Homo-oligomer: A and B are copies of this chain.
Amino acid sequence: MPQYDVVTLGETMMRLTPPGYLRIEQTRSFDIWVGGTESNTAVGLARLGLRAAWLSRLPATPMGRYVSNRVAQYGVDVSRVIWADADERLGIFFHEKSQAPRTSHIIYDRADSAMSRIQPGDLPSALFAEGVASMFHVTGITLAISDSARATALAAMGRAKDAGWQISFDTNYRSGLWSGPQAADGCHEAMALADIVFCPSGDYQVMYGEATAEDAIAKLAQEYPKATIVMTMGRDGALARSASGALMRQPAILAGDIGRIGGGDAFAAGFLYAWLTGADLALALKWGAAMSAHKYTIHGDLPLVDFDEVEALVEGASGGGLVR
């Protein structure tokens, strides 16, 4: 049995959010959360019972430890984190939540973070070996935050591939990091390596231009024929195409609005959990949708679900209500 089911690599930041719906200008305190797409997914996998490890580079400061503590707390292996000197910085993002017609905002302050300075040489040499893990998962954000992070991520993907691990990749487009065409170009090499590609329909539009979901997934399949393509579409659910060309649809599961941040990462965690435990594509989509729906009810970035409650939703329970 491999030591890890999934190894991930990416930046995790401290998220500072005013309580409730206060504007930043109004608040006297920030609630602190930690969030980063790959560690969010890793936590989701661990909550569902898989063994996940998260690679990153953190400053040896209380803020850096804050991040690793929270990720470790929920069962993810953080023993491979690279610790930078205490004079490096942790990326931060500010989150101001609103009701319509006001728009919620995330404001990044992540430039020059310790993780953006990661180098391929920082990768733990013994880790990327045959049988150590079953899968490597990374997203477009890691490719975009810096040249050295991109080089590191691609090196990791290559080594993981060589070691016989599956590769999972999520485009995870962020407009603050690069343009759509830059992202399309920048993700190409990773997508070509991937066995599973998550590409939200919104990302597709920005990266490749307007298209129906069906057309979009077809074009991706043409470009990346060996990959299973998963396209989440918000309220329209998800669409997936297996490498053999089978199309599967999954309706969205209605959910609360407490914790939409990290919903896509939770989807990936649910999908990958099912995928790695032998589910077929349709069932994997259902696990993704159920996990994402639960995430929408949970504060913070991390999908702190219980296995039983996700499984119940997958199996058709209506949820909600009060059990006592």
Where the two chains meet, the residues of A that have a C-beta atom closer than 8 Å to any C-beta of B are 16, 19-32, 61-63, 65-66, 69-70, 72-75, 89, 92-94, 96, 98-109, 111-112, 174-176, 253-258, 260-261, 290, 293-294, 296-300, 304, 309, 313, 317-324
Contacts and interface: CB of A to CB of B under 8 A. Distances in A.
Contacts of A323: 103-106
Given A175-B324, A319-B100, A63 B297 contact: no
Sorted nearest first, the 7 A-B pairs with minimum C-beta distance are A99-B256, A101-B319, A100-B320, A106-B324, A24-B62, A73-B73, A102-B297
A109 B89 contact: yes
Contacts of A107: 61-63
Nearest to A107: B61
A105 to B, nearest CB: 5
Contacts of A105: 322-324
Number of copies: 6
A244 to B, nearest CB: 32
A206 to B, nearest CB: 13
Given A107-B61, A294-B102, A32 B28 contact: yes
Given A73-B70, A108-B324, A254 B100 contact: yes
A319 B103 contact: yes
Nearest to A21: B258
